[in-house]
Amino acid sequence: MHTRRSPLSIACRTATIVLALAGTGSLLQAQQLSSAQAAFTTPLMTYASASAKDYFGSASSTSSSLDSENADRLMLNASALDSLQPPPRRRYGRPRYSDSHTNADGSSKYAFLIGVGGTLPIGNTHKYFDPSYGFEVGAGRNFSQSVGVMLQFDYDRFGLQGSTLANQQYLYNYGCTTALQTQGVCSPISGLDGNNHVMSLTLDPTFSLVGQGSLGAYAVVGAGFYHKVTNFTVPSVGTYCDYYYGCYQYQANQIIDHYTSNAPGVNGGLGLTYKFSRFSSQRFFVEARYVVIFNKQRTGLTAGNINTSFGQSYGGYNYFPANSNRTTYIPIKVGIRF
């Protein structure tokens, strides 16, 4: 037999079926959304299902299963949102390099310098020579930001003291007596001048003392070969001939005496550097070194011993034995390191 239901019972059951179908449609739509969108859509669906249950009483088995699935899906979406959070920041150490021009600490493997400045003779050297100028060039290898070595060429020039020139002129004119001058045998020298220079090739290890920021400081030591030369000159007149303008005369200095001395030497000093920019490899530098050349002393004639028995019997040609004296001086240079 079929039980006849009241219109109110039929209406309630119909409403329950419609809400269940609406929940199923919403679930299908939520599956088409991305995981991030579903995380926000699913709680709304769950709230709608709970609200329908509050209004219509106990839900059917279909409604209960949907609520359980939505709750599980909400937990899964919450886990998905957690996975979207950025990972903890990775800690990086000092960068390391492996190319043929860069050390592991980022410093360049190869170094160069060029500089100019003045030379200051000191000690016994100052008795004969005056301050003058010099320049230097070098190329080397950096083993790190703190340690390197440079192969360097230096040219340091000196003038001659007035007393040195006076003594030399006295020596050169000593045997040229008035009688000999009258006979035309000799002519006295006047206007004597001269200069000295030292050329060196040294190997110079360099140690950085301060290298952070724009300012830096370093220490340098080195040793090598030193070639010392002294020239004495007198004024002379030269003649130059040109194809278009013919010949004309000019004032020049003629070398009349020349001395050399080769010896090992050492040097050491301190320098300051300044970087032009944070990322620049070029640095302006200023440095001062102390140089000692171990010249071997030679016997020779001087203004002080020419009237002694040694001077009367000396038959050599060394009229400037000071060129072979031990040499000490301070070169002060400024330039660019890169």
Domains of the chain, by residue range, sit at: 7-83, 110-337
Whole-number Cα distances in Å, 173 to 137, 169, 250: 41, 6, 26
Query: Please, what is the average pLDDT of the chain?
Result: 81
| Partners of 254 in the β-ladder | 234
Classify domain 110-337 at the CATH class level.
mainly beta
Retrieve residue 173's tokens.
């004119």
Phi–psi pair at 289, nearest 5 degrees: -125, 160
Q: Beta-carbon neighbour count of residue 62 at 10 Å?
A: 14
Contact 202, 182 (CB under 8 A): no
pLDDT tens digits along 76-116: 555 555 555 666 666 655 555 557 788 887 788 999 999 99
pLDDT tens digits along 133-175: 999 999 999 999 899 999 999 999 999 999 999 999 999 999 8
Q: Beta-carbon neighbour count of residue 334 at 10 Å?
A: 14
pLDDT category at 8 given cuts 50, 70, 90 is low
Higher pLDDT, 214 or 232: 232
Q: What percent of the chain is predicted at pLDDT more than 90?
A: 54
pLDDT tens digits along 226-261: 999 999 999 988 788 877 778 878 788 899 999 999
